[in-house]
Structure 1
């Protein structure tokens, strides 16, 4: 007879016993007396009660009778006469814990009342439905976090699929003879399988081809599963089957255990289900509860190829400096038909033919799993651009003794085309920081009033008076630079007042073409702390916008405002990044 008596469960939660009368305590009518011999004590077995507790499989029987000195109780679970439980006192009871392999099983309980030294007895029987109701554990530690990158999620947060890089479709949880619930476990949801059986649970889904798990040709590298069980009510070892392979994993007691396999090393090419079973030499106790979370396919983060070229790259000898992330191997194609270099930071000699030439350089890097990623850059040789470009009148100051704004300030920033030919209104309310960076009194600056602003953030002209400030530069091609400037917007506007700064990809003859082009970098400043000189000279905001010059080094600056209040620009600088 198996599972006799209570299994050390510390607390019993009384549940409903489902009998033919649908009551937890059952009173049965007495049956016929089996012997009426003269002088023999008669046994009158009037009824017995049954109480159900625990997970719905623990049943206690208490007989009620007259004349009985002992009782035998057969719980109907394939027990032999020798294994029947005996009660030796009036008012006594006996408890039996039914197996919990199945969710619902009907058993016949037989109670036999006997008198001492007599063969006289009486028998009562009734059917009982045993319904296993596992209790979701509330003392499980929070399951581990997973990285939110390069993950194909099969199961996360119980049965909710979280879309990391991707997620699988048509996921189904099949417990077989086990019971599955998406339970609140500790502070998080987890998939929870209960009831002792050979197959604890199964997760099935559309077939995943490992080589194309993330996209065509983008392979998964490994599989991860988080597992948890409390040994006293669960199991200490689990068998995991997937992709034609079977694994055994020991489980720590009441701690999450990570199961990880390398899919390539294991030769697994596809999976469409993951089956959990009791380990081959494992022990399952009580409800055999197993918690599962964070089933996902993972790939090693792809390398991010990147490189810079030396500041003298416009001659014919070019040094390439690797700036890649997560790269373990390098392959350089210099675009001139020469041999590929596998150096991390190669120097390449292009043909010195006295001409300006453009070559497309390709850097291909691989991550630790051998997956390749490439990037390209156009490199110009045979021409020299400006390393430290001068911004003409970037301080917006007049020449000494010259009171004319147009001749020496506005003239440096003019561009023809739509809008007003004056690029801005000059103002004495410039920055309190001078062009060299020291703090002093207010200087001159560029000013845009509400009547001088563009119609929208895209720079659409308001006919007649929109002001665009423009200046063109020849920079070192494919080189990192910084556009630095200060801006200020008076307070009290409509909340959408903006100062727009852009580095344009090329030189332009008119404002219409410049505004319509796609910039290399663009910033919309919306901080309205007042004029530069407001609040003890703290009204302005300094911006530093990094960018990479284009393949020919021809770029330009364009400023304009979209504002209902006065807006200002000062201290415009353009210089190589450190």
Structure 2
């Protein structure tokens, strides 16, 4: 059996020769008949593929033949070819791999037909698209990245093919959706209510899907599978655009067949009334969930170290926000006295900004999407060591502020510290938290009003020759 591969790797494959009688060609030796004509001789036929790999050309090797009848073995009408000609046929792309038997029969006046057959396998590799949608314009920590160009918390499962464009953009491809199901298996279960952090979730999910109707599907079905509870949440009859990326946004509470609380597998199928053509392929990108609007600070007690406070980019500066410390407040996040120190955030003199600013300065930063125009309070505790040292002008301090906007680069945020909705400079230096009354340091509360977009950021830094600390950062709505 010969193997003919379909796809990019199969382009311009030639010279795949098959003999039905022997491994090599059978020499053709013309034989003179008593009538002076040449007796028909059928040595073998050559098979080659081209184009997308299912385009197969058959060239018989004969003498003394007028024409041929070539049956490509897929129940289509056989093709005819004259002596010395070839016949080309394009097989279906529906199946990834299919076996066929090609049969060639010679025709010559006054002579018996000669027939030879050969079994072949045609394998089809879908040619991937060469374009991608724009990456999501969502700020750091406000997007749960299931699958985007930046990577994913999932991986292509059964039925999926990873595609990497020349630009480096990652896509995932699902084919033959007229019969198969595209399966995207996440590496971990997503719980909607806690998607970002305990108590901080999402109520929506986004997909970008590409289909060319001539080789794909026109309607899509998406299912979010919750194996833990044996539940499937379905959206059927999703209309796609032909030859364009379709952006899909769904509400987890209302758009699926039942409210989605958690899931770990995403299924892509042909919509119930949809049409699938050719290899029925779709390409998927940008599967993500957005953080719901709310004032909850993530890791406000710093028990998870620098998580959710760290910069992704800081031109000519330090992306680490602070030094983690075990010298935090004696109070936990709920205000209960634990009787001992908790974790906190710490700045040393070398990590300070302001008068002590350098490329090593550290700034803690976290974005919030608040209700536009609503009133809030930023609350936190701080402590500063009272050891001797050369103080900056005005004294050692911890600075907390609410930026009027959000920044991709920490350097831009530092340049715009004056563009804020409220701030506090704390100068009380009585030692570490454990040296202060009740081990709780100094409490700060900064009232502010959210801007028109609701997109703000909380930021902290220190200006001190000795260690300074913060703990238990919260943002509370004034009128919840």
Tell whether the 8 Å contact from 1:303 to 1:367 is kept in structure 2 after alignment: yes
Specify which of 167, 191, 213 is matched with residue 172 of structure 2: 191
State the 1:90 CA deviation: 1.8
What does residue 145 of structure 1 align with? 136
Task: State the shift of 1:227 in Å.
Answer: 0.5
> How far is 1:293 from its partner?
0.3
Tell me which residue corresponds to 2:303. Answer: none
Q: Does 1:13 align with 2:11?
A: yes
1:174 alignment counterpart: 158
State which of 296, 303, 312 in structure 1 corresponds to 2:288.
Answer: 296
Deviation at 1:375, TM superposition (A): 5.1
How many Å apart are 1:202 and its aligned residue?
A: 1.4
Q: Do 1:143 and 1:188's aligned partners in 2 also have CA atoms closer than 8 Å?
A: no
Tell me if the contact between 1:240 and 1:275 (Cα under 8 Å) persists in the aligned partners.
Answer: yes
Out of 54, 57, 66, the residue aligned to residue 60 of structure 1 is 57
Residue 244 of structure 2: which of 255, 258, 261 is its match?
Answer: 255
State whether structure 2 residue 102 is matched by structure 1 residue 109.
yes
Q: What's the CA shift for 1:258?
A: 1.1
1:211 and 2:202 aligned: no
> Is 1:85 aligned with 2:78?
yes
Say whether the 8 Å CA contact 1:302–1:373 is kept in structure 2. no
CA deviation map 1:53-82 (0-9, x unaligned) = 1232221112222232221222223x1xxx
Q: 1:66 and 1:508 mapped to 2: Cα distance?
A: 106
Instruction: Name the structure 2 match of 1:322.
Output: none
Match of 2:42 in 1: 45
Largest Rg, 1 or 2? 1
**Residues in 2 aligned to 1:201 and 1:229: alpha-carbon distance in whole angstroms:** 14
Secondary structure, counterpart of 1:174 in structure 2 = coil
Deviations 1:336-359 (A, max 9, x none): xxxxxxxxxxxxxxxxxxxxxxxx
d(CA) in 2 for partners of 1:44, 1:114: 11
**Structure 1 residue 294 displacement after superposition:** 0.7
Deviation at 1:40, TM superposition (A): 9.8
Q: CA RMSD of the aligned region, Å?
A: 4.9
Residue in structure 1 matched with residue 183 of structure 2 by the alignment: 202
| C-alpha spacing 1:188/1:270, structure 2 compared with 1 (3 Å) | same
Q: Matches of 2:246 and 2:180 in 1, distance apart?
A: 20
Distance 1:52 1:61 in 2: 9
Contact 1:110 1:124 in 2 (8 A): yes
Instruction: Specify the alignment match of 2:119 in structure 1.
Output: 127
Contact 1:146 1:294 (C-alpha < 8 Å) held by counterparts: no
The within-5 A match list for 1:73-472 is 73-77=70-74, 79=75, 83-116=76-109, 118=110, 120-138=112-130, 140-148=131-139, 149-157=141-149, 160-161=151-152, 168=153, 171-175=155-159, 180-184=161-165, 188-195=169-176, 197-199=178-180, 201-205=182-186, 206-243=188-225, 244=232, 245-265=234-254, 266=256, 267-303=259-295, 461=388
Q: Is the 8 A contact 1:62 1:92 kept in 2?
A: yes
SS at the partner of 1:211?
helix
Q: CA deviation at 1:285?
A: 4.0
Query: 1:497 maps to which residue?
Result: none
**Distance change (3 Å), C-alpha of 1:222 and 1:290:** same
Change (3 A) 1:211 1:458: closer
Q: How many pairs are equivalent?
A: 320
TM-score by length of 1: 0.45
Call closer, same or farther: CA 1:201–1:226 in 2, change over 3 Å: same
Gaps of 5+ in 1: 1-8, 162-167, 306-364, 379-456, 473-477, 481-501, 522-546, 550-557, 563-578
Work out whether residues 136 and 183 of structure 1, in 8 Å CA contact, stay in contact via their aligned partners in 2: no
What do residues 370-428 of structure 1 show as CA deviations (whole Å, max 9, x unaligned)? xx9985769xxxxxxxxxxxxxxxxxxxxxxxxxxxxxxxxxxxxxxxxxxxxxxxxxx
Distance, in Å, in 1 between the alignment partners of 2:145 and 2:126 is: 27
Deviation at 1:125, TM superposition (A): 1.7
CA distance in 1, matches of 2:105, 2:465: 98
Instruction: Give 1:52 deviation, angstroms.
Output: 0.6
CA–CA distance in 2 between the matches of 1:548 and 1:272?
Answer: 41
Could you tell me whether the CA contact under 8 Å between 1:29 and 1:47 is conserved in 2?
yes
SS at structure 2 position matched to 1:62: strand
Q: Secondary structure at the match of 1:136?
A: coil
TM-superposition CA deviations, 1:83-107 (whole Å, max 9, x none): 4422231222222222334443332
Report deviation, 1:130.
Answer: 1.5
How far off is 1:124 after superposition? 1.4
Counterparts of 2:117 and 2:392 in 1: how far apart (Å)?
99
In structure 2, relative to structure 1, the CA distance for the partners of 1:187 and 1:254 (3 Å cut) is farther
Mapped contact 2:200–2:296 kept (Cα < 8 A): no
